[in-house]
Structure 1
Amino acid sequence: MRSIEIGLAVIFLFLYKVDATLPKCAEFDQSGMIARELEKDSKALPFQDKLEQLFNAFEKNDTASVESIYKSLETIRVDDDDDVREKYTENLIKSVPDRIKSHGYPAEVHQLVTEDGYKLDLYRIPYGVKSPKTNRSRPAIILVHGFGECSNGWIVLGPENSLAYLLADNDYDVWIFGARGTEQSRGHVSLNSKQREYWDFSWHEIAIYDLTACIDYILSETKMKRLNYVGFSQGTTVLLVLASLRPEYNDKIIEANLLGPVAYLKGNRNSLFNAIAHYYKPLKRIFQILRIFKITIDNKFLVKITEIACKRTAHSTPFACKLVLSIFGSTQINCTSLPAIFINTPAGVSVRQGIHYIQLIRDGGFRQFDYEDKKINQKIYGSITPPDYNLTRITVPINIFHSKDDTTASFENVIQLKSVLPNLKSTYLVPVADFIHVDFTYSRYVRKILNGRLIETINSANRK
């Protein structure tokens, strides 16, 4: 597995072009992770030393050295030098509930089982530091993460910026969703996550089973009839699937707030996704031959890369850190936040989740999973092609938040989505250039650019 993890990291570094201009980095990261300078006379650990060489080789475009260093990295155990973490960052806590508590907020862990046997963890912040601690009921709200992410995305920027904390301080009962396959929700009543059968799901099943189970559980626990909804990326996809296929859930949601909504994808401007769609058949064949049915990465490895690459980022961004930042393509992520992001992200997805999105890019429409076998499609759907999700059945009021520079939820695709939603209440176009998909959760400016307006929208819905 070590070679797969290193290989994926190196592929990411090669896939993304690095801009020659090195942007300045904020001196203070709101998440509380402040990069420390290594002591000049400290003895370099093997892992650190090799990564330094790797970044230097990338900078010089020295392919031969990259290959040599890559091979030597495979022989190094990350677990051998765990104490190195303390040399770079402070308070880097992997457990999301523990990190919430470290910021002075209450955190609860609720465990539930879906209809098809998947065990999920649901995190709760029942009240905020700035809201009165009383036994009275507060409006409940569920936050649903994007593809490859987990609950960490809603708290990673700390109390001053992250949406979960801001909502708790605005007197909401905050519930943070974790989909099947993510590290926090990788259990099952009979399957092991190492088995192929465990990963036989797409975001369709996350919508139909995970989301329904969590909504019903929250309403039961809070004794509420309805809750508020915020979803980002895949979190918007699953809401659209659920509301179209299970219309009774429209009545269980006050309003749905969709950040960077992903439904229609054909013609989108994400070059990586389009390249994968173009080479879909050979890539799918490779995955089948290698029996790859999930994408899970040792986050500790990624944390070490970012800690070492960005060690000088208290004042500026060196080439190595820019190389790591280029994976996101964002100019708005605080580089000192990277270890806190990577400690939980990527969080684990099934290959089938990705294939389902690629099918939308390739074939157009917003439809159910294509088994690419006419007999199987006929057996499951009653037709040789998968049916479209009927978005005209959605009755819950929807608020859309999007950006012109988002290449994943492309402006044109969002316009197409807006044209078919029967109960679109409002649209907010982020008024800042270069605000891309990941910036909806990771931008260091997200409170001023997005979260303030989003909370106003939610407050308005709950005043009725």
Structure 2
Amino acid sequence: MLHYVGHSQGTLIALAAFSQWQLLDKVKSAGLLSPVAYLSRITSPLARDAVDNFLSELLYWSGLHQFEPRGQAVTSLLKEICKKPGIECTDLFTSFTGENCCLSTAIVNTFLEHEPQSTATKNMIHLAQMARDGTIAMYDYEDRDKNTQHYGHHAPPEYNLTNIPSDLPLFLAHGGRDDFLMLTMSSSCWTALEPMTLTSSSFSL
């Protein structure tokens, strides 16, 4: 049996699996760091604008199926978003996450040498769909026939977090000033998971 530890999207993957009673025979407990569930609560202006203006979909429709944050196509679109009033992109890292009180410039630069990593554009579309719809659901093919082919129904099924067994110990931890996560998102996750065996911590300096 394993003690699972996930961060950000890794927590969403775990919650989705647990809600369908998957992996429960392999996991003894789970630690969820910066837990992501209800993406409609994000307050990052840059992320919100990208979601509302279908940035990921535009890239996919243009034939770019690999979302490369440092690639020319993504960089060009981000530059256009950064020209909009109220979106400050002088520090691109901070514009996504919010102010980072406790990270030195050297540490941030080291982090940015390795992150953010590329991912499938469909993954970004999926996250954007949930942010716009306020749901935790499977990928929407935006086509009734394709959804029916994959799910047996014209709409993608939602993950019901209340299906997670109440005897699975979960630990949730988040920063209180995370513009991408935000306390309200974590609180919604907490509410959906009650009355499970939960421990929660929030750090804000």
TM-score, normalized by the shorter chain, greater than 0.5: yes
Counterparts of 1:253 and 1:427, CA distance in 2? 19
Return the offset for 1:298: 6.5
Q: 1:350 aligns with which of 114, 120, 124?
A: 120
| Paired position in structure 2 for 1:264 | 38
Q: 1:390 aligns with which of 133, 141, 160?
A: 160
Return the offset for 1:414: 1.5
Return the offset for 1:384: 1.4
Q: 1:369 aligns with which of 120, 131, 139?
A: 139
Structure 2: unaligned runs, 5 residues or longer? 72-89
Q: 1:288 aligns with which of 61, 64, 79?
A: 61
TM-score normalised to structure 1 length? 0.37
Greater relative contact order: 1 or 2 (C-alpha under 8 angstroms, separation 6 or more)? Answer: 2
What is the identity percentage for the equivalent residue pairs of Structure 1 and Structure 2?
26
| Paired position in structure 1 for 2:3 | 228
Q: Helix, strand or coil: the match of 1:266?
A: helix
Return the offset for 1:229: 1.4
- AA aligned to 2:132 is R
Return the offset for 1:248: 4.8
Q: Which runs of 4+ in 1 moved over 6 A?
A: none
Confirm whether residue 277 of structure 1 aligns to residue 51 of structure 2.
yes
Superposed, which structure 2 residues align to 1:45-444 within 5 Å?
Answer: 226-245=1-20, 247-280=21-54, 284-289=57-62, 291-296=63-68, 323=91, 326=94, 329=98, 330-395=100-165, 396-421=168-193, 422-430=195-203, 432-433=204-205
- AA aligned to 1:266 is S
Given the superposition, is the C-alpha separation of residues 406 and 389 from structure 1 closer, same or farther in structure 2, using an over 3 Å criterion?
Answer: same
Counterparts of 2:102 and 2:93, CA distance in 1? 10
Given the superposition, is the C-alpha separation of residues 414 and 298 from structure 1 closer, same or farther in structure 2, using an over 3 Å criterion?
Answer: closer
Paired residues in the alignment total: 182
Q: Helix, strand or coil: the match of 2:188?
A: helix
TM-score normalised to structure 2 length? 0.78
Structure 1 residues 94-146: Cα deviation after superposition (integer angstroms, max 9, x where no partner): xxxxxxxxxxxxxxxxxxxxxxxxxxxxxxxxxxxxxxxxxxxxxxxxxxxxx
Q: Helix, strand or coil: the match of 2:136?
A: coil
- AA aligned to 1:418 is W
Structure 1 residues 291-333: Cα deviation after superposition (integer angstroms, max 9, x where no partner): 111123669xxxxxxxxxxxxxxxxxxxxxx746645542322
Counterparts of 2:185 and 2:40, CA distance in 1? 8
- AA aligned to 1:238 is I
Counterparts of 2:56 and 2:161, CA distance in 1? 31
Counterparts of 2:133 and 2:91, CA distance in 1? 33
Counterparts of 2:18 and 2:40, CA distance in 1? 22
Structure 1 residues 325-346: Cα deviation after superposition (integer angstroms, max 9, x where no partner): 6455423222112343233212
Return the offset for 1:283: 5.6
Counterparts of 2:19 and 2:154, CA distance in 1? 21
Given the superposition, is the C-alpha separation of residues 267 and 413 from structure 1 closer, same or farther in structure 2, using an over 3 Å criterion?
Answer: same
Larger radius of gyration: 1
Counterparts of 1:415 and 1:334, CA distance in 2? 29
Structure 1: unaligned runs, 5 residues or longer? 1-225, 300-321, 434-464
Asked whether the equivalents of residues 34 and 181 of structure 2 are also in contact (C-alpha less than 8 Å), the reply is yes
